[in-house]
Structure 1
Amino acid sequence: MGARRLDHKLDCKACRTVRMDIPEDAEEHTRIHCSSCGAFLGEWGELQDDFYAQARGTEAFDLNNGNITKK
């Protein structure tokens, strides 16, 4: 299987990056925008759910304090 890229709700449909502007005090319904172009990506709760759904069964990525990191 080739390299997988995180996508779905996590990637910005406007500029095709995965860069989120996440406030330190983000809660489930906090609106999250792309840090590259400012486009609305979704609410923090749904973005976290999408990340965990995509990362399920893999140990390549982790989500810590709003940062997606490669393990």
Structure 2
Amino acid sequence: MPDRLYATDNADFERLLSLGFTESEAKRLLYLRDHVDEQVEYREILEESRRLNFIRWLIEHDRISR
């Protein structure tokens, strides 16, 4: 895990510190946030969710029937 934060993370980092997280906890949370989509299970859940949302849209717009 890199020790440096990107400029865009500074506000989030400061917010986490203000909420009582330690510096190392805040860095870890920001790292996890930026890398969560690398996990296979997360990608699979996201793909399934998108398919279900599309099917829901098709039904709601009378493109297919139940």
TM-score in same-fold range (> 0.5): no
Structure with more strand by fraction:
1
Taking structure 2 as the reference length, what is the TM-score of the superposition?
0.26
Q: Considering only CA atoms, is the larger Rg found in Structure 1 or Structure 2?
A: 2
Structure with more helix by fraction:
2
Taking structure 1 as the reference length, what is the TM-score of the superposition?
0.25
